[in-house]
Amino acid sequence: MNYSSRRFGFIFNLLSLKSNLSRSVKLLATLGATSLLVSQSSSPVTAALEDSPKTVVDEVWQIINNEFVDREFNHIDWKIKRQELLKREYSDQASAYQAIRQSLEDLGDPYTRFLDPEEYEELSSQTSGELSGIGIRLGIERQTSKLMVVEPIPNSPASEAGLQAGDYILSINGKPTKSMTLEQASAEIKGEVGTQVELEISRQPQSNFEVAISREQIELPSVSYTLNQEQDSKVGYIKLDEFSSHAAEQMEKAITDLSNKQAAGFVLDLRGNPGGLLFSSVEIARMWMGKGAIVSTIDRRGGNEKFSANGKALTDLPLVVLVDGYSASASEILAGALKENDRAKVVGSRTYGKGTVQSVHSLSDGSGLAVTIARYYPPSGIDINQKGIDPDIMVNLNRQQQTTLSINPDLIGTKADPQYARAVTILKNQAK
């Protein structure tokens, strides 16, 4: 059987992470794109696999056999598993997908997972930091259950078309949104670049109106920042939502802009950030650190790859990092490096605890496979998997504080945010 699989290096957190401080689930990633030719099988059943659901089944088996970090496969005879899988008859791709998922569950690793074509496409959009659409963030208003524009992304087609935060979307391409979920509405709005989506909008006190908006390739901002005047000093507040392919350049712009505006110190907010591209986290760490180790990874054969600062930090001003129980994977790499090199004080609650690395492969039918290929360690070499990183200063939010910030996200990164307020106090004390 001859086939090739495009390989994307990723650090994945495939659990559903729901943050009280930011938008919910995202998938994690790392390392650059390379090519991979999966080895041919000499099995007699190979010839019968072409153009059948068994093709993808065997692709998955081969990748796991060659790359899975646990060479004992959770004490499963993986070769016998292949024979069992290929002896079965599959009526369609769905039945093959189900068999694949059941086999991967036997490996005992929640991060090694099969992705159907739709899931794989969604992952690719998230990790690239781009999608084809009109550039709006959607929400369901709690009181009315109506589909609402939370905000148009600046300079997006939606923004240029005049959509505003608080607009209700009554229909999409003539389909009423009353019973749509957010995922369904988002899928309706997305589409090929150059095509149009027609929206019916309700905006008080105006009458309802319709607008046709052309879809474009949208870059999803991963970084937002403000310069906050805190009594007699200026604090640069930077919120990093995910480590996408564009996060590093956006972070560089934020640091440079805030430095030019005479920020006296920085608060880097990683709360609710489930991770992203590993190399993006390394690049961003290098913007804050002039020297020191950042992270190391160890693969199934004991190979150790180390990443360190390169002496090209953009600033040496005081820094406080905010984390919580939803700061995972690449977020923990960055927070751990900054903490253990004494570059920053870390404030908040214990992080998620995700210390493994995944690669993601595209398969021949458009589906994908995430497979754990290595474990990663902060500079100290401690194992943070399922343990997390403890902040230097523990500041836990009570239920009421969490609810307040969740309902009023504009309060995040202000004096009404207890963890941010503590960070500002630390920066002031360092300046004395």
Q: Which residues are catalytic?
A: 329, 354
Q: What share of the chain is helix, strand, coil (3-state, %, to 5)?
A: 30, 25, 45
**Nearest alpha carbon to residue 354 among 82, 106, 26:** 26
Q: Which residues contact 218 (CB under 8 A, 6 or more apart)?
A: 130, 131, 132, 133, 134, 135, 153, 156, 157
Whole-angstrom distance, CA of residue 428 vs CA of residue 432: 7
Relative to beta strand 209-214, strand 196-202 is: antiparallel
CA 342, 316, 323, 307 dihedral sign is negative
Whole-angstrom distance, CA of residue 302 vs CA of residue 389: 24
Strand partners, 101: none
Give the H or E element holding residue 214.
Answer: strand 209-214
**Nearest alpha carbon to residue 109 among 325, 370, 297:** 370
Phi-psi region at 54: left, alpha or beta (left = phi > 0; alpha = psi -120 to 50): alpha
Whole-angstrom distance, CA of residue 270 vs CA of residue 388: 14
Give the H or E element holding residue 160.
Answer: helix 157-160
Q: Which residues contact 202 (CB under 8 A, 6 or more apart)?
A: 167, 168, 170, 208
**Nearest alpha carbon to residue 320 among 395, 374, 257:** 395
Q: Report residue 80 as tokens.
A: 């016998």
Contact of 353 with 314, CB cutoff 8 Å? no
Contact of 298 with 375, CB cutoff 8 Å? yes
Whole-angstrom distance, CA of residue 164 vs CA of residue 148: 10
Q: How far is CA 222 from CA 30, 128, 240, 279, in A?
A: 15, 11, 6, 15
Maximal C-alpha separation, the chain: 77
